[in-house]
Structure 1
Amino acid sequence: MNPIDLRAQIQARMLEALPHPDQAVRAELAEYARMLRDYPERGGKMLRGMLLVYAGLAHGARLEQLLPVAAALELFQNWALIHDDIEDASEERRGRPALHRLYGMPLALNAGDALHARMWAMLIEARASYLVLDEFVRVVDLTAQGQHLEMSWMQTHRFDLTEQDYLLMCAQKAAYYTAVAPLRLGALSAGVEPPATYIEAGLNLGIGFQIVDDVLNLEGDPVKYGKEIAGDLWEGKRTLILLRWLSQASEPERIRAETLLRTPREAKHPEEVAWLHQRLRESGAVAYAQAEAERRLAAGLEALRPVLAELPDQEAAQTMLRLLESLVRREA
């Protein structure tokens, strides 16, 4: 199936599961419906849902079996982003103001909770298997654990972190639901036990995806990136790039950077953020992170190729490989 058509079908299936403002009995509930549809209507690349569909097709599932599960995974992405934007005090999402900037935190939080419920409703209505439901539980749980790690480090002003700390957080917060879960859910939706390779390979690919996201946060095109450039610095996130730079910075620069990162977003001076942004871009930390992302991409794809070569639908399997490569390199 053409990726553009598939993306449109997943988005349409998502929106079908959500209330429409025209059907609301009160003006307030029309606004509620608009809020639930806001992030899903902004689109996004639907890469996780598309990866799930191609994985399922490769394992022999039918498209109609896969679309509601893929749409439910994209609903997970959307409600998690609403909550993540609130927790990070983010300014933008997909090129527009974050939902809490448009409607305020309480209403945005409530909308995220409602989308979470709609996610489970979609799976129930699709008569998803117990194994599929259990995988969604794992996705939510691991993502929450990873988010807790990252937020607790910022809240307690931790700077004694290693690259291994970052990789553990990244594996739980982003990598599992970005690559591992779509691969496993595709197989599970086809009634097949997912190959064990999907976990290790998916984690490598998902970590690579997040590292590239960290790079784009510093160097990306604001229009294509869709989020605030240098937002990670305003929010004080511990990225692989930052940890690498801190480990090599002079003591005065390290103290200056840590002082900035301890400061709440609203009290940060733009000049200091610009200074750290420039120092990170000038250092070798960005190139180091990019090389790590490429290494993990290569390792993940190399592990997957022999497994995918055995699947019944080779056209879908090869499309899935290309999608995974574009996911990490942001070419899709």
Structure 2
Amino acid sequence: MRPQLQNMALSLLPTPEAAPRPELRDFYAMLRDYPQRGGKGIRSELLLLSAQAHGLAEGGAGWERALWLAAALELFQNWVLIHDDIVDDSDERRGAPALHKLHGVPLALNAGDALHAYMWAAVQKAGLDAGFSEFLTMIHRTAEGQHLDVSWVEHGEWNLQPADYLEMVRLKTGFYTIVTPLRLGALAAGQPPHPDFEAAGLSLGTAFQIRDDVLNLTGDPAKYGKEIGGDLLEGKRTLVVLHWLQHARETRRHIFLDQMRRPRTDKDPAIIEDLLEWLRGSDSLAYAQAFAAEEAERGLALLRGALAQAADQAAAGQILALMETLTQREA
């Protein structure tokens, strides 16, 4: 993430030193925890590149509007991650303990709620009416995708097809990772977003999420930033797992489903390691990677067309390069 964006986001948050009492000093520190951990800033960078591609010069008139929208997107990412970590009972986030592991669920949940409000403060700073509508749409779609994801876990639903997974990730990942940043960048530059941004973004977001699912099984923990195998501990329905279940031997399928019925704390670590090895040694990884490659190719083709007449072709080229990296990333 650009340091300027991190500073802008943090400038909206109260400092612990300003707290009138010790409890609020702790609260203010919690608000700043995830934003201070940083992150890759992929979504905010995409928004700023989109603004440049649509003719908004970096540092020129209107650039601050784009920066505030990008800062709002980073605050969105942070409060959603706090809530997501609670839902999944994740141990780590960005190489450090998840917020609820440090302070407990009630306090972490409250901090996430508060960051949600500060996100809207950043949107207001941008002074772009259309920005409010874009953020609302993004939150609605992301919440719908999250509901599908969590409801399958809560209800023990494994009778799912790859199409179910794809619908979930297009809602949960596609909008806030690709579609909304592209659209917000255009709007910040005073230009109407290209209608193909949505289809392109949903394909690219799907490719990104599938790649993330694969890295959760095979990635380098030092680079990945989340625990390897965490998706299995949380019982996530991924394309890799759904494909594997369709082709697994009945004995292994039974063992897998038995573990997935258990809460995270009751899962057997030794069996989870076996499951990881079964998945890593299966054809399902290659299947998921090939599917992601097809989605990436489709999304990139649509995006190239949508940016063909962009005012700043250098920035448009950076967007395409970023999307290629994002869908082929190793960490």
When normalised by structure 1's length, the TM-score is 0.96
After the TM superposition, which segments of 4 or more aligned residues of structure 1 sit over 6 Å from their partners?
none
Residue 89 in structure 1 maps to residue 89 in structure 2: yes
Residue 17 in structure 1 maps to residue 8 in structure 2: no
Residue number in structure 2 paired with 1:141:
140
Give the RMSD, CA atoms, in angstroms. 1.2
Residue 157 in structure 1 maps to residue 186 in structure 2: no
3-state SS of 2:2 partner: helix
Q: How far is the alpha carbon of 1:331 from its aligned partner?
A: 6.1
Distance 1:55 1:14 in 2: 20
Q: How far is the alpha carbon of 1:119 from its aligned partner?
A: 0.5
Q: Contact conserved, 2:65 with 2:127, CA < 8 A, in 1?
A: no
Q: How far is the alpha carbon of 1:330 from its aligned partner?
A: 2.5
Q: Contact conserved, 2:219 with 2:330, CA < 8 A, in 1?
A: no
Residue number in structure 2 paired with 1:273:
272
Distance 2:131 2:126 in 1: 11
Residue number in structure 1 paired with 2:305:
306
Residue number in structure 2 paired with 1:239:
238
Distance 2:134 2:37 in 1: 27
Q: Contact conserved, 1:18 with 1:37, CA < 8 A, in 2?
A: yes
Amino acid at match of 2:86: I
Q: How far is the alpha carbon of 1:208 from its aligned partner?
A: 0.6
Question: CA deviation digits over 1:237-272, x for unaligned, max 9?
Answer: 100000000000111211111111111111111111
Q: Contact conserved, 1:95 with 1:227, CA < 8 A, in 2?
A: yes
Q: Contact conserved, 1:10 with 1:46, CA < 8 A, in 2?
A: no
Q: Which blocks of at least 5 consecutive residues in structure 1 are unaligned? A: 1-5
Amino acid at match of 1:127: G
Question: CA deviation digits over 1:191-250, x for unaligned, max 9?
Answer: 222111101110111011100110110000001101111000000010000000000011
1:218-257 aligned within 5 A: 218-257=217-256
Residue number in structure 1 paired with 2:98:
98
Residue 42 in structure 1 maps to residue 15 in structure 2: no
Amino acid at match of 1:7: R
Residue number in structure 1 paired with 2:25:
30
Residue 60 in structure 1 maps to residue 59 in structure 2: no
Larger mean Cα displacement after TM superposition, 30-39 or 67-76: 30-39
Q: Which blocks of at least 5 consecutive residues in structure 2 are unaligned? A: 57-61
Q: How far is the alpha carbon of 1:53 from its aligned partner?
A: 0.6
Q: Contact conserved, 2:54 with 2:185, CA < 8 A, in 1?
A: yes
3-state SS of 1:106 partner: helix
Q: How far is the alpha carbon of 1:307 from its aligned partner?
A: 2.2
Distance 2:152 2:139 in 1: 20
Distance 2:91 2:7 in 1: 27
Percent of pairs with identical residues: 53
Amino acid at match of 1:145: E
3-state SS of 1:160 partner: coil
When normalised by structure 2's length, the TM-score is 0.96
Q: How far is the alpha carbon of 1:309 from its aligned partner?
A: 2.3
Q: How far is the alpha carbon of 1:13 from its aligned partner?
A: 1.4
Residue number in structure 2 paired with 1:77:
77
Q: Contact conserved, 2:216 with 2:231, CA < 8 A, in 1?
A: yes
Distance 1:14 1:224 in 2: 25
Amino acid at match of 2:101: R
Q: How far is the alpha carbon of 1:128 from its aligned partner?
A: 2.1
Amino acid at match of 1:51: L
Distance 2:26 2:326 in 1: 34
Distance 1:154 1:140 in 2: 21
Distance 2:330 2:274 in 1: 30
Residue number in structure 2 paired with 1:3:
none
Q: How far is the alpha carbon of 1:329 from its aligned partner?
A: 2.1
1:316-327 aligned within 5 A: 316-327=315-326
Question: CA deviation digits over 1:297-324, x for unaligned, max 9?
Answer: 1111111113212011112111111112
Amino acid at match of 1:68: W
Amino acid at match of 1:209: F
Distance 1:143 1:309 in 2: 29
